Amino acid sequence: MATTASGMRADGTIATSHKRVIFASSLGTVFEWYDFYLYGSLAATIGKQFFTGLNDTSQFIFALLAFAAGFAVRPFGAIVFGRIGDLIGRKYTFLVTIIIMGTSTFLVGVLPGYNTIGVAAPVLLILLRLLQGLALGGEYGGAATYVAEHAPNGKRGLYTSFIQITATFGLFLSLLVILGTRLGLGGDTFDAWGWRIPFLVSALLVAVSVYIRMQLHESPVFQQMKAEGKQSKAPLTEAFGQWKNLKLVILALLGATAGQAVVWYTGQFYSLYFLTQSLKIDATTANLLIAAALFIGTPFFVFFGWLSDRVGRKPVVLAGCLIAALTMFPIFKGLTHFGNPAIEAAAANAPVVVTADPNACSFQFDPVGKHTFTSSCDVAKSVLAKKGIPYSNAAAPAGTVATVKVGDEVIDSFEGTGLDKATFTAQSKAFTGKLDDQLKTAGYPAKADAAQANYPMLVVLLAILVIYVTMVYGPIAAWLVEMFPTRIRYTSMSLPYHIGNGWFGGFVPTIGFMLVAWKGDIYYGLWYPVVVALMTFVIGLFFVRETKDVALHD
């Protein structure tokens, strides 16, 4: 049967050769997400290797900041590579991004730690994360544009949903490699040096990816536009320098990708950190739980992509944002109930309350590890934060020494300002010992008890979060591609996508745990994704148009 320049046959389906092209594009993107997600999956382990000069709380938060650094630069990658993709073509941009991503990931695997080269270790780590973010910023928009420009009318949601699966497959693959390595070497060996192996494996994956990308043909829509002389000579100016298109970029960000992003990163990353950091579930078990949820939920990417071809992109994505925002708190409380019921029972029967002068309480984030928080409030909250103990706050008169109430027992903190190091250390040890004894008596566990956990229910709750991810993420590529004209499509769609996912989404774990450390409420960090998801629902509902029936040939 004859095939048109667009790759569509007379019966409206995609030719076999183009299906192979779409598969090759998607598979290469899986490997690129694998590289990017390795760091996120190993943030706690990497924090111990590269940020050992910091206190425990700052160590984990700074490790998350290094993870977020890769997201922070994604919009810049979108601008750089989006422009190249609109000027030169989709195929060659793919090759550049995959090489940068793979090389950066491999170098993380051979980078010496803090104990070997000191502060240079975290600096180099963050530089490599920035390179990864730049590469990914140019990857997604090209892949989504490329696949959409091959798809027949009425099936763009379905076909681009396979690109959406690549992010989850990349995370799933990274979790499997991490689990296999951890189980094969043992936990101590893995934490010491075995964590490097998944990063080194990327050298093989990047070789496969480059080979796959070399087999690709240029997008038929791009070729047709080029042949007709309709290419943009200044994609950045057209995309962002003209209000008509810039308005669409802003609406795409606030009314589509911002909410989609926070739902996605809450369901796939914040949930993982919540299991390990707040509920004290061991890392191997937490990774297995997330992997099981991903396995269950992943087919729904295709379902919701297909559904968006029937009912529209807008209702599916916005419904996902709304439902997720309304149910995040009960789902995460359910994770506590089924994952670590002992901490739930202890918090109910013997709640912890910090009573202190609010003006004496600092926002305890120390990125360079040089500041010591010495007020009585800071001392009390620091100890509780390190132990992952949920607590509430009560105000005390100015000048009052902070106290920690565990159930009916009250333990006095101490004012450490002005004490020499030895005296401060001794008093901290004494205070921590008293607090440990009372927390143990009240039933607060140091680690989750596997015998008490209900793993099937944990998988169900985590799978629900993943299904929310598939609702908002499955149709998003088709929605963004259809919003913008071919001549500036790569540039235009890439920026709102990567600001949304790089900034709004990528900072979910960091902002969430900083809020938890600030307030003491282990659920307080959820307010960030809930508010952003509701914002997107409102703006998307009233200001963003439906696009499922638009033509891509302009």
Question: Is the same domain home to 328 and 371?
Answer: no
Q: Is residue 554 part of a domain?
A: no
What is the structure's pLDDT at 224? 65
Full domain range(s) for residue 435: 345-442
Q: Is residue 551 part of a domain?
A: no
Question: Is the same domain home to 324 and 366?
Answer: no
358-415 tens-digit pLDDT: 988 877 655 444 556 789 998 898 888 778 889 999 999 998 999 999 999 999 999 9
Neighbours of 240 (CB within 10 A): 17
Asked whether the beta carbons of 15 and 9 are under 8 A apart, the reply is yes
Question: Is the same domain home to 148 and 38?
Answer: yes
Q: Per-residue pLDDT for 82 more than 80?
A: no
449-499 tens-digit pLDDT: 999 999 999 999 999 999 999 999 999 989 998 998 877 777 788 888 888
Q: Is residue 489 part of a domain?
A: yes
Q: Is residue 2 part of a domain?
A: no
Question: Is the same domain home to 360 and 509?
Answer: no
93-143 tens-digit pLDDT: 777 887 888 888 889 889 998 888 888 888 898 888 888 888 877 777 777
Q: Is residue 4 part of a domain?
A: no
Q: State how many domains the chain has.
A: 2
Residue type, 132: Q
Specify which of 32-36, 153-157, 319-323 reaches the highest per-range mean pLDDT.
319-323
Q: What is the average pLDDT value for the chain, to the nearest integer?
A: 83
Which of 391, 423, 442 marks a domain boundary? 442
Question: Is the same domain home to 423 and 472?
Answer: no
Which of 442, 460, 483 marks a domain boundary? 442
Strands 352-356 and 392-395: parallel
Residues 6+ apart with CB under 8 A from 259: 317, 318, 321, 472, 532, 533, 534, 535, 536, 537, 540
What is the structure's pLDDT at 462? 97
Q: Is residue 229 part of a domain?
A: yes
What is the structure's pLDDT at 219? 61
Rounded Cα distance between 298 and 294, Å, is 6
Question: Is the same domain home to 283 and 168?
Answer: yes
Question: Is the same domain home to 396 and 507?
Answer: no
User: pTM of the full predicted structure?
Assistant: 0.81
Question: Is the same domain home to 272 and 405?
Answer: no
